[in-house]
Each structure stands twice: as structure tokens, then as C-alpha cells.
């Protein structure tokens, strides 16, 4: 009861902050005449709200899909669809993710429901990595962002898929079980099956609403931190740090993590760096960011154990860095 009350307080506080920021932004020039606000804070506020406005639709789509999985997909369905061999299960999940038009903002609720329904955690991670990275929308936006050049789009898709497979295989060998922070509240389908379609649909909406409030506070925190980084991180210092291939790759991967851009639009930001950094670094930005970023990490921490999330982050970062450095001479 205390935990539920504490969670509700966090939810209410988070959304109160959003409403307050929206109110401040709506006052516009009238506010500037009465209260002197530093331009950096106004810029931070604008970036913060733009990230939330961009992310919330994808989170809503994600929680709706998660609610559908919770109510309409049974453990028997999962056992029929997922191959028994764990390696084939990972290949299948990465392939499905590549065709699934999901954003990293809304992928975590879907992954939680899939794991709760019996999908192996390594296969779910494979789905999480490829979903925001190799779906058709992202590939099309990458192709257009780089002047209709198929090379970067093809490299992003092929290398991203290979890296996702490697990461999922490593995670599968390191971790067993669901890795949830707390026990998963499963739905009793014998009870659900007795309901008509409209009752099931209402139950799906209830689960989606619970999922949304559960994820939203972590999205808010991640969006705020990303806005702080975008506001106060000078671009000049990035150029000074990223002088060599390895350094520039590390800088662009770090930038992708902290900026937490939506994968449908990050290619246009990556393309703006193409005259400054080599193709290896640009691909690091385009591949690492959609796989895991700051807001995505915080959302994962609300679901999975801290050690598991940090391990996934380290394995993804290490694999992306090593693969791209090995291929840097060919790119």
C-alpha cells in the first residue's frame, strides 16, 4: 500500500511539473516582461517539452501494444510462436523487430509484457535492439537524410542487425530467468476468456493506462536530463575531444546516448556531423542511440534489475565500439 501511494505521488508530481512547464511556455513574451529568465533555461524548457511531445505518442502506442499482449496473447500462443532453441528464438525476435515500426520510447513496455508472457529475456532484448533501429521508417529516413545515399542506410541496417544478434547471444549466455525487479503480475486467462470482447478491450485499456503511468515518470526524468545535456554541452568541446577515430566514435556514441533522440529523426542530426566526423563515428551515432539511450535506460531500470540493465548497456556499447573499430578501415 505504501509503495503504491509512493508511486502515485511520483506520477502526480511528474505530470504537475509538465503542466507547470507548459504553462510557463504558454505565457511567452508576457512572462519575459515580469520575470527575468535566463535564455538557457528557456532553451532547456523548449528542448525538454519537444522531447516529451515527440516521445509520448510512441509511448502511448507501446503501452497499447503491451496491453494487447497482456490480455489477448496467452503463454500457449508464445510457446507455439517462439522456437524452442534459444538461438533460433533470438534470430526470430531480431527479425521480427526489424519489421516492427517501434520507437525506443515505447519498446520497453512491450518487452516487459513479452518477457512476462514467456519470451526468453535474450530474445526480448534482441527485439528491443532491432525494433527502433532497422524498421522501414528508420531506414527510409536515413536514406533521405544522407542525400538519397543507400550506403549509410544499408550499413546501419546490416551492421545493426549483426550487432543486435551478438548482443542478444551474449546476454543469453550471461543471464537466465526474467531479470525483473519484482514478480510479474500475470493475467489469469481462464478468467479473461469468460469475458466478451468489449470487456477484454476495457481490461486492455486499464492495463495500458497502468503501464503508461508506470513508464511516464522515467521518461520525464530521462527527457529532462537529455534536455540539460543538449542545453549546456558545448559543441566545441566535442570537436576537441573527438580528434582520432576511436575518440570521435566514443564521442558520437556518448552524444547519441545523452541526446536521446527519436530513431525516426536522428539520421538528420547524424548527417549534420558527416562533414566533421568520419563515417565510422556517424554509424556509431546512428546504431548505438536507437539501441539504448538515457531515457530508455531509465525506463529499463524501472522494469529490470540494475545489474542486468548495466550489463546490457555495457555489452551494447562494447560491441558497437569494437565492431565499428574493426571495420573502420573499410567504411
- In-domain check, residue 15: no
**Nearest alpha carbon to residue 226 among 22, 37, 52:** 52
- DSSP H helices, the chain, are 2-27, 29-34, 39-72, 75-81, 86-99, 104-116, 121-130, 136-145, 150-174, 189-192, 197-232, 235-241, 245-259, 266-272, 279-291, 294-301, 306-326
Residue 53 within a domain: yes
Instruction: State which residues form the domain around 204.
Output: 38-326
Average pLDDT of the chain, as a whole number: 78
Number of structural domains found in the chain: 1
Note the pLDDT of residue 177. Answer: 86
Look at residue 272 and tell me if it is in a domain: yes
Q: How many CB atoms lie within 10 A of CB 92?
A: 17
pLDDT of residue 249: 92
Residue 165 reports pLDDT greater than 90: yes
The average pLDDT across 73-82 equals 69
Domain-embedded: residue 304: yes
pLDDT value for 326: 94
Mean pLDDT, to the nearest integer, of 230-257? Answer: 78
pTM of the model: 0.75
Contact predicate 305/180, CB 8 Å? yes
Q: Which of 294, 285, 296 is nearest to 320 (CA)?
A: 285
Look at residue 82 and tell me if it is in a domain: yes
The reported pLDDT for the residue numbered 31 is 52
Residue 154 falls inside a structural domain: yes
d(CA 26, CA 264): 27
Q: Burial level of 85, CB count in 10 A (0-12/13-18/19+)?
A: exposed
% of the chain beyond a pLDDT of 90: 23
- Between 286 and 99, whose confidence is greater? 286
Q: Which has more confidence, 320 or 7?
A: 320
Q: pLDDT at position 277, please?
A: 83
> In the structure grid, which three cell numbers stand for residue 216, read together?
511516464
| Residue 129 pLDDT > 90 | yes
- 92 lies in some domain: yes
Average pLDDT over residues 277-300: 90
Residue 180 DSSP label:
B
Q: Which of 133, 157, 172, 138 is nearest to 315 (CA)?
A: 172
Above 90 in pLDDT, residue 310?
yes
Residue 180: phi and psi, rounded to 5, are: -70, 150
Mean pLDDT of 216-243: 71
- pLDDT-derived band at 1, boundaries 50, 70, 90: very low
**pLDDT value, residue 283:** 94
* Per-residue pLDDT tens over the stretch 85-103: 888 999 998 988 887 767 7
Answer yes or no: is 280 within a domain: yes
User: Which band of pLDDT confidence, cut at 50, 70 and 90, is reported for residue 15?
Assistant: low
Cα 7 vs. chain centroid, distance in angstroms? 22
Amino acid at each position: 500500500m505504501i509503495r503504491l501511494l509512493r508511486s502515485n505521488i511520483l506520477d502526480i508530481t511528474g505530470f504537475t511539473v509538465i503542466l507547470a512547464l507548459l504553462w510557463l511556455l504558454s505565457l511567452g513574451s508576457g512572462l519575459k516582461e515580469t520575470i527575468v529568465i535566463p535564455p538557457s533555461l528557456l532553451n532547456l524548457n523548449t528542448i525538454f517539452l519537444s522531447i516529451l511531445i515527440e516521445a509520448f505518442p510512441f509511448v502511448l502506442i507501446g503501452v497499447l501494444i503491451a496491453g494487447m499482449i497482456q490480455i489477448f496473447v496467452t503463454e500457449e500462443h508464445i510457446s507455439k510462436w517462439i522456437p524452442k532453441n534459444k538461438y533460433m528464438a533470438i534470430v526470430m525476435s531480431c527479425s521480427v523487430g526489424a519489421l516492427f515500426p517501434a520507437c525506443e520510447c515505447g519498446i520497453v513496455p512491450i518487452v516487459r509484457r513479452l518477457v512476462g508472457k514467456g519470451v526468453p529475456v535474450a530474445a526480448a532484448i534482441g527485439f528491443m535492439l532491432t525494433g527502433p533501429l532497422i524498421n522501414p521508417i528508420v531506414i527510409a529516413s536515413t536514406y533521405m537524410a544522407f542525400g538519397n545515399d543507400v550506403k549509410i542506410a544499408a550499413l546501419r541496417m546490416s551492421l545493426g542487425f549483426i550487432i543486435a544478434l551478438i548482443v542478444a547471444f551474449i546476454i543469453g549466455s550471461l543471464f537466465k530467468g526474467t531479470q525483473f525487479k519484482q514478480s510479474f503480475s500475470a493475467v489469469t486467462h481462464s478468467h479473461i476468456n469468460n469475458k466478451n470482447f468489449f470487456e477484454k478491450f476495457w481490461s486492455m485499456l486499464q492495463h495500458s493506462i497502468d503501464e503508461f503511468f508506470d513508464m511516464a515518470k522515467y521518461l520525464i526524468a530521462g527527457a529532462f536530463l537529455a534536455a540539460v545535456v543538449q542545453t549546456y554541452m558545448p559543441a566545441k568541446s566535442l570537436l576537441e575531444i573527438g580528434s582520432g577515430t576511436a575518440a570521435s566514435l566514443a564521442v558520437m556514441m556518448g552524444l547519441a546516448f545523452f541526446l536521446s533522440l527519436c530513431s525516426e529523426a536522428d539520421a538528420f542530426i547524424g548527417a549534420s556531423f558527416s562533414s566533421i566526423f568520419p563515417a565510422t563515428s556517424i554509424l556509431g551515432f546512428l546504431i548505438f542511440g536507437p539501441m539504448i539511450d538515457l531515457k530508455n535506460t531509465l525506463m529499463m531500470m524501472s522494469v529490470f534489475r540494475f545489474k542486468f540493465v548495466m550489463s546490457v548497456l555495457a555489452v551494447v556499447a562494447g560491441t558497437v565500439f569494437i565492431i565499428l573499430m574493426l571495420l573502420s578501415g573499410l567504411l
